[in-house]
Amino acid sequence: MADQLETLALSSYAALGDSFTEGLNDPAPDGGFAGWADRLAGLLAERRPAGEFHYANLAVRGRLLDQIVTEQIPRIRQLSPDLVTFAAGGNDILRPGSDPDVVAERFEAAVRELRESTGKVLICTGFDTRGVPLLKHLRGKIATYNVHLRAIADRNDCAVADLWSLKTIQDRRAWSEDRLHLSPEGHQRVALLAARALGLETEMDPAEPWPLEPPHTAAELRRENLQWAREHLLPWVGRRLRGESSGDHVQAKRPELRPY
């Protein structure tokens, strides 16, 4: 009950991160992207009188941890929101040769800095990639990073949205066609998970099983994998070989705390 009362008292929220938090592949009515952070802001705003809840989203697709620390955390010192969600390091972990131990050290330094400027911090663990082509080979690195994140949360009194243990997010329907970003329903389940991690009661359950659907044949799966590799995997690999980012020239979609 205490956690819920504390969450109900929140009047401002700022989201930090990369494409996951920017909300890629969850279309918004204005033609941009919504995403789990926007959806979480909506759940929090519902508990406040109209116009009294303020929300900023500083996340930008493709950002590495150090870029988030340099570009986004200074804004938190200026905004001083009641709540910050901080999901970062995933793009670092995906890079060849990255060390999850080193990334975690930089992540904790950022968390400590955030704790000086905000009342509450929520962090997200990485997804379980066991069923994702190519990324399934990074599962061990992600698991190692997640162990660090949980320890960091304990040491710094952070809430945790444990994406790794949310089994329903491993369903293919939780992901968009590129298999790197969530579908609208996937974003909704993450928003519900984050709300519950903050102590908020939600009518919908993020772990609610998906409706049954007919199984795919082996031929259908091969065809889908080939199409995915051609349309999404190869361009993604190409950008990394060229040193490009999908976030080049992209600005934060909601840089100021505005009524939500």
Q: Is it the case that residue 83 has pLDDT exceeding 70?
A: yes
**Lowest-pLDDT choice from 61-75, 183-197, 226-240:** 226-240
Task: List residues bridging with 259 in a β-sheet.
Answer: 54
> Across all residues in the chain, what is the average pLDDT?
90
pLDDT digits (tens, 9 = 90+) for 155-183: 999 999 999 999 999 998 999 988 789 99
DSSP state of 183: -
Q: Can you give the pLDDT at residue 2? A: 44
Give, to the nearest 10 degrees, the angle between helix 139-156 and helix 100-115.
30
CA distance 48 to 139: 40
* Secondary structure class of 15 (helix, strand, coil): strand
In CATH terms, is domain 2-209+216-259 a member of 3.40.50.10860? Answer: no
Contact 102, 92 (CB under 8 A): no
Q: Rounded mean pLDDT of 190-206?
A: 96
Q: Can you give the pLDDT at residue 135? A: 81
Q: Can you give the pLDDT at residue 243? A: 64
pLDDT bucket at 244, cuts 50 / 70 / 90: low
Rg of the chain over all Cα atoms, to the nearest angstrom:
18
Of the candidates 21, 25, 18, the one whose C-alpha atom is nearest the C-alpha of residue 232 is: 25
Burial call 50-59: b when 16+ CB within 10 Å, e when fewer: eeebbbbbbb
Q: Rounded mean pLDDT of 225-249?
A: 69
Alpha helices by DSSP H, listed for the chain, are: 2-8, 19-22, 36-45, 65-71, 73-79, 90-94, 100-115, 139-156, 184-197, 218-228, 234-241
Take residue 136 and report the two structure tokens written for it.
Answer: 């399934």
C-alpha distance across the termini of the chain, in Å: 25
DSSP state of 173: G
Q: Can you give the pLDDT at residue 106? A: 98
pLDDT digits (tens, 9 = 90+) for 97-110: 999 999 999 999 99
Take residue 26 and report the two structure tokens written for it.
Answer: 């969850």
pLDDT digits (tens, 9 = 90+) for 91-149: 999 888 999 999 999 999 999 999 999 999 999 999 999 987 778 899 999 999 999 99
Q: Rounded mean pLDDT of 236-251?
A: 70
DSSP state of 18: S
Q: Is it the case that residue 215 has pLDDT exceeding 60?
A: yes
pLDDT digits (tens, 9 = 90+) for 13-57: 999 999 999 999 999 999 999 999 999 999 999 999 888 999 999
| Helix/strand/coil (H/E/C) assignment for every residue in 31-86 | CCECCHHHHHHHHHHCCCCCCCCEEEECCCCCCCHHHHHHHCHHHHHHHCCCEEEE
Q: Can you give the pLDDT at residue 166? A: 97
